[in-house]
Amino acid sequence: MAARESGRIKDANQKRVLDDAARKRRQRKALEALEEDNFHDDPHADLVMSKKVPKFQETLDSRGVGRKKKTKSAEYYKQRFRKTFSQLVEEDHNYNPTPPNYMSAQSQPSQFPDRHFCTVCGFPSNYTCIPCGARYCCIKCLGTHLDTRCLKWTA
Amino acid sequence: MSSVTYILDNGGYMAKVGLSSDTPKLVPNCIMKAKSERRRPFVGKQIDECRDASGLFYILPFQKGYLINWDIQKTVWDYILSKECCPANLSQMPTIVTEPLFNFPSIQEAMTEIFFEEYECQSLLRINATGLSCYNYRHKNPNTKCCLIVDSGYSYTHVVPYVNGVKIKEAIRRIDVGGKLLTNHLKEIISYRQLHVMDETYVVNQAKEDSCFVSQDFYKDMEEAKLNLENNTIARDYVLPDYTTLRRGFLRKPEVSGEQQTLRLNNERFAIPEILFHPSDVGIQQMGIPEAIVNSVKACNEETWPHLYMNIVLTGGNAKFPGYKDRILKEVRSLCSSEFIVNITLPDDPITYAWEGGKAISKDPVFSNMVVTREEYEEEGQALCYERFDV
Ligand SMILES: [Zn+2]
Ligand SMILES: [Zn+2]
């Protein structure tokens, strides 16, 4: 009885298949990574800057000829104009809902069918991994895929 | 008005800047930090002084092609205007500064404010880079009424038709694929297939620039790339910089690796730029460039179609991929009706083409009617800028 139980559990594990929602989540995560602007919050912000750092205040003062003007700091503008990209899109959508606008300019889906490539080697692929839906081209690549990616990342 | 104008084509990755009497300087529009010199931020071109660019990362003012991080931008602009880069006293001359298409109103207002109030501009023209490219093209080809600018940069690609110098807003198409996405994708597949380079955006971006090309026959090149090394004309090794003997990597024929660390690049060389032609290859459900061109033309008045197909101009960094123009020509040719003549211009320098347009426009008599002066701004404020600037 006990043996049968564990056998069934093992079976269920093997047949674990990502549902549509999980696959879409995975796809969305992959796209977000591609869209990354390589924007980091400065991890060394707390380090003391060396003397080599240009002193903008000084260079600014020498900008105008014989001109003394109080310039505002970078931090001032950060506080003054602080809106995230999604806030801006939403704002635009509310104030300027009729096309043409940022949203409407986005190119529509292609009329040509999707092409499929092996997620391992990048060559055209004819097969789909049953558990996760990734594409592969041959047994060797399927093996690599199962060992490295398939259900290994939690979507 | 002064005979010299300050022109700043403020790209999301690279600013092109200079006096209209001069040639443009390319300045990275970001602050960079290197692993090797943690205490020193490198602003703009200062990165040239960085001895070891491994593990370099960018802090960019732009996100998704729009100006979001104003503290970073202010720091870079202060540097650009300083003696170290491209000094000018903007209160003594007109300024042209570019902005993205469909720029959001709050960003537009911030631009106007910072240029008039912080930099005390004498007069200002805010305009799309594609508008300057259009001007440049018509300046060189005086009898053309229409042109279609395909601007493929760091953040995205835009297809923008112009009729009599005015953009047809309803027909503008944006493809959310730019150089950034291509580099990120290359980083990811190299990291999965051979070497962890996820923290090496700078180096992988150079590898992309040095190695990638646009295929003229995609599936044929895929077959070619499957051949063994002796018969394979695509597979190459990219020798990575070590920052002692080599500052920038280079591409060479595959050989048994010696001391140097290399990346083997094969189908990656053309599968990466291919995303510009098939965004769906990475799951972006949008048309590729040739299809978007035809789609954009069709959204314009029918009488302009032959003129638009005759005057397609390719700008932006991605236009530098070998084979880019030929592939677009071939596909637009096959997608549009055979009655049209398709003619495509790839400028000598697709990156500075818009800036050069700024230079030409600053010498046009109409220029003084296009700008907003400081006095006008002080009297009429933002409203006048909305009226006069079409961004
Ligand atoms: Zn494969
Ligand atoms: Zn799988």
- Per-residue pLDDT averaged across B270-294, rounded? 98
Inter-helix orientation angle B179-193/B201-211, to 10°: 100
Residues B144 and B134: beta-carbon distance below 8 Å: no
Shortest alpha-carbon distance between residue B184 and chain A (Å) = 5
Higher pLDDT, residue A80 or B307 = B307
Question: A89: nearest CA in chain B?
Answer: B104
Taking only the tens place, the pLDDT of each residue in A16-75 is 888 999 999 999 999 999 998 876 666 555 555 444 444 444 444 444 444 456 688 888
Domain that holds residue B301: 133-177+281-345
Q: Is A34 on the interface with B (CB under 8 A)?
A: yes
Choose one of B253, B274, B295: the last residue of a domain: B274
Domain for residue B374, yes or no?
yes
Contact B364, B72 (CB under 8 A): no
At residue B336 the predicted structure's pLDDT band, cuts being 50, 70 and 90, is: very high
Q: Is residue B153 domain-shared with residue B184, that is, in the same domain? A: no
Q: Is the pLDDT of residue B319 over 70?
A: yes
| Beta pairing class for A127-128 and A135-136 | antiparallel
Q: Is the pLDDT of residue A140 over 70?
A: yes
Residues B293 and B235 in one domain: no
Cα of B67 to nearest chain A Cα, Å: 9
pLDDT at B316 over 60: yes
CB-CB under 8 Å, A36 with B82: no
- Whether residue B289 sits in one domain with residue B168: yes
B357 and B265, same domain (yes or no): no
Q: Could you give the CA distance from residue B27 to residue B15 in angstroms, rounded to a whole number?
A: 5
- Ligand 2 centroid to Cα of residue B195, in Å, is 22
- Check pLDDT > 80 for residue B271: yes
Q: By the CB < 8 Å criterion, does A40 face chain B?
A: yes
Q: Give the distance from residue B360's alpha carbon to the nearest chain A alpha carbon, in angstroms.
A: 26
What are B55's strand-pairing partners?
none
Instruction: Inform me whether the C-beta atom of residue A2 falls under 8 Å from chain B C-beta atoms.
Output: no
Interface contact B66-A85, CB threshold 8 A: yes
> Residue B304 corresponds to which amino acid?
T
**Which of B43, B78, B156 is the best residue to mutate to test the A interface, defined by the most A CB atoms within 10 Å of its own CB?**
B78
User: How many C-beta atoms surround the C-beta of residue A82 within 10 A?
Assistant: 12
- CATH (domain of B357): 3.30.420.40
The answer to whether the CB atoms of B89 and A64 lie below 8 A apart is yes
Contacts of B41 in chain A (CB under 8 A): 49, 53
Q: Which chain A residues contact residue B75 at CB under 8 A?
A: 56, 74
Which of B274, B289, B310 is the last residue in one of the domains? B274
Greater confidence (B216 vs A70) lies with B216
Of B70, B81, B201, the CB nearest to A81: B70
Q: Indicate whether B95 and B108 sit together in one domain.
A: yes
pLDDT above 60 for B369: yes
Same domain, B265 and B322: no
Question: Is the Cβ–Cβ distance between B251 and B210 less than 8 Å?
Answer: yes
Do B348 and B387 form a contact (C-beta atoms < 8 A)? no
Mean model confidence pLDDT for chain B = 96
Q: Please tell me the distance from the alpha carbon of residue A85 to that of residue B167, in angstroms, as a whole number.
A: 25
Q: Are residues B117 and B86 in the same domain?
A: yes
**What value of ipTM does the predicted structure carry?**
0.94
Of B222, B257, B274, the one marking the end of a domain is B274
Lowest mean pLDDT among A77-81, A151-155, B340-344, B373-377: A151-155
**pTM for the structure as a whole:** 0.93
Average of per-residue pLDDT across B210-234: 97
The predicted pLDDT at position A3 comes to 46
Structure letter (DSSP) for residue B273: G
Residue B160 has pLDDT above 80, yes or no: yes
Q: In terms of Cα–Cα distance, which of A103, A42, A67, A18 is closest to B120?
A: A67
pLDDT over 70 (residue B183): yes
Residue B113 CA to ligand 1 centre (angstroms): 54
pLDDT at B35: 87
Instruction: Please check whether residue B1 lies inside any domain of the structure.
Output: no
CATH number at residue B221: 3.90.640.10
Model pLDDT, residue A79: 87
Q: Tokens for B235? A: 């597979």
Domain shared by B144 and B285, yes or no: yes
To which H or E segment does residue B146 belong? strand B146-152
A39 and B59 in contact by Cβ < 8 A?
yes
Average pLDDT, rounded, for chain A: 80
Spatial CA neighbour of B95 closest among B65, B115, B78? B115
Same domain, B167 and B298: yes
- Is residue B97 a part of any domain in this protein? yes
Neighbours of B64 (CB within 10 A): 19
Peptide bond into B61 cis (omega under 30): no
Q: Establish if B325 belongs to a structural domain.
A: yes
Number of domains in chain B: 3
Tell me the chain A residues in contact with residue B288 when contact means C-beta distances shorter than 8 Å: 110
Mean pLDDT (whole number) for B139-155: 97
Among B33-37, B152-156, B238-242, B276-280, name the one with the lowest average pLDDT: B33-37
pLDDT at A58: 42
Q: Where are the domains of chain A?
A: 115-154
